[in-house]
Amino acid sequence: MTTEFVLALDQGTTSSRAIVFDRAGTVRGLGQREFRQHYPRPGWVEHDATEIWHSQLDVAREALRNAGASAADIAAIGITNQRETTLIWERATGRPLARAIVWQDRRTAPLCEQLQADGHGEFLQERTGLVVDAYFSGTKLAWLLDHVPKARQMAERGELAFGTIDTWLIWQLTGGAVHSTDPSNASRTMLYDIRRQDWSDEILELLNIPRGILPTIAPSSGEVGRSLPELLGGAIPIAGVAGDQQAATFGQACFKPGMAKNTYGTGCFMLMNVGGEPVRSANNLLSTVGWGLTDGGADWRSTYMLEGGVFQAGAAVQWLRDGLGIIQHSEDVEPLAASVADTDDVFMVPAFAGLGAPYWDPYARGTLIGLTRGTTRAHIARATLESIALQSAELLTCMNADSGIALSELRVDGGASRNDLLMQMQADLLGVPVVRPRVAESTARGAAGLAGLAVGFWKSLDEFAGQWEAERTFEPSWPAELREARMARWRQAVALSKGWASDAPRG
């Protein structure tokens, strides 16, 4: 029997999605369902892991129905997931001991500050490629073990399992038979030595985490188990796993060093392929594993990335809509911004929750600068759009410096990549073409690709990459002098936003 499709499970921060792809890489069926966000205290964000599992199973069944497919038609399942979100559960029952702590959660910031104060920051960054921040899973797991009743004792007796969301879905799909993750997700825990490609015993000791609670690490492309027949109507190989941003980079076919993609969503995540060795950033970017692929044996070779994150991108446009009320719908921002030729020297720094890379300033706050009596809501709208492109351009400048590779084009995806004005701004500020693909579902496409390659659905990386097609290319139109002047003015605006919420004296 010939299988015709691959099923991608795309478990995100606010919704669970499932997409069926055919051999040409075309979407044949889709399902999506939102789930609840829990905010028990200021700075805390939690998810109900059981609700996530049920929503993901429901949309998988829906996608199969919409594709007119059965389990017998599916060659493999690929999983991609919100990264860093952390949970623990009982091995015997599969019952979570607490809600999952979401990647956005800041409750472990004091522990991170203590680690830095105790002089561990350099060691942790050298081992993991990450800055010490509450964003990552390691301190979240330590917090759960210390604060959930009986968790530490159970963990030390080998009764608990830890996982990020990929691991949780694999466990559920296999009925608890497989406790596994992949190198891309492992590299986001702050517990993983990215050079040795294994959990770091030194970091586990530092954070007082028993090694037995951790999942095994398997390649990003390769069968790790099979789904229980009663879940989807048959036993389907689970053969691809990657964190969402790495999966999107794979889906964009960024397979050669120097290739990069930027995802424009609530925030922006830019990843650049730097090859087979990690690059230590001199500009406060993250070094992370993109994916681990085998040569047919048990071992894998990792492809490494430099990553920079913009905390507020689409969220800044949502603020124009919900906070200021100057637009009714997010899509209204493009025609409003296009109604003026420029921002009239107005700059928006959307540091509503601090600044990410390369500044990592949690005390920065949102700033509108350059306002005059001639400023209109159109100028503010244009400055907000431009802030997304400016933040991303700054990240790319850092990546070029760290990697020693000059980018030739930027591949883009995410909801805001549909905004033509924003994409043209991005090309002008980067000085390189910005390329939007025909298939916008880059994250799910990457998960499908990893799974399909593992089972021979696609024969090679070249075949998979050959299915990637550009829908539109935005060519840069600015001279270098204008681009550099605009970036310099942006940095002036950023300097004014920094440190605002700190108690430190300000000059």
Q: How far is CA 426 from CA 313, 391, 393, 412, in A?
A: 13, 10, 7, 10
472 is in an annotated binding site: no
Contact 399, 272 (CB under 8 A): yes
Angle between helical axes of 121-128 and 109-117 (0-180°, round to 10):
110
- For 253, the 3-state DSSP assignment is coil
Q: Is 181 annotated as a binding residue?
A: no
- 83 annotated as belonging to a binding site for a ligand: yes
Q: Is 367 annotated as a binding-site member?
A: no
Contact status, residue 60 vs residue 232, Cβ threshold 8 Å = yes
> 63 near 18, Cβ under 8 Å?
yes
Whether residue 265 is annotated as binding a ligand: the answer is no
Tell whether residue 481 is among the known ligand binding residues.
Answer: no
Annotated binding residue 15: yes
Residue type for position 341: A
The answer to whether 415 is a known ligand-binding residue is yes
According to the annotation, is 318 in a ligand binding site?
A: yes
174 is in an annotated binding site: no
Contact 314, 416 (CB under 8 A): yes
Q: Is 37 marked within a binding site? A: no
Query: Was 294 annotated as part of a binding site?
Result: no
Residue 45 to residue 107: CA distance in whole angstroms: 9
Beta bridge partner(s), residue 78: 8, 240
Q: How far apart are CA 92 and CA 178, in angstroms?
A: 13
Is residue 201 a known part of a binding site? no
Name the residue among 56, 458, 17 with its Cα closest to residue 240: 458
Q: Which amino acid is at 280?
A: R
Number of H helices, E strands in the chain: 17, 23
Q: Which residues contact 494 (CB under 8 A, 6 or more apart)?
A: 349, 355, 359, 364
- Which residues 6+ apart lie within 8 Å of 213 measured at CB? 88, 141, 155, 160, 161, 162
Q: Is 294 exposed, middle or buried (0-12, 13-18, 19+ CB in 10 A)?
A: middle
Report how far residue 319's alpha carbon sits from residue 118's, in angstroms, rounded to the nearest whole number: 38
Strands (E), 267-333: 268-275, 286-294, 300-310
| Residue 101 token pair | 């702590």
Q: Provide DSSP, 139-155.
A: HHHHHHHHHSTTHHHHH
Question: Is 17 annotated as contributing to ligand binding?
Answer: yes
C-beta of residue 263 within 8 angstroms of C-beta of residue 246: no
Radius of gyration from C-alpha coordinates of the chain: 22
| Torsion angle in degrees (nearest 10) through CA of 145, 151, 152, 158 | -120
Question: Rounded CA gap, 40 and 487, in Å?
Answer: 40
- Residues belonging to the binding site for sn-glycerol 3-phosphate are 13, 83-84, 135, 244
- Residues belonging to the binding site for ADP are 13, 17, 266, 314, 415, 419
- Residues belonging to the binding site for ATP are 13-15, 266, 314, 318, 415
- Residues belonging to the binding site for glycerol are 83-84, 135, 244-245
- Residues belonging to the binding site are 13-15, 17, 83-84, 135, 244-245, 266, 314, 318, 415, 419
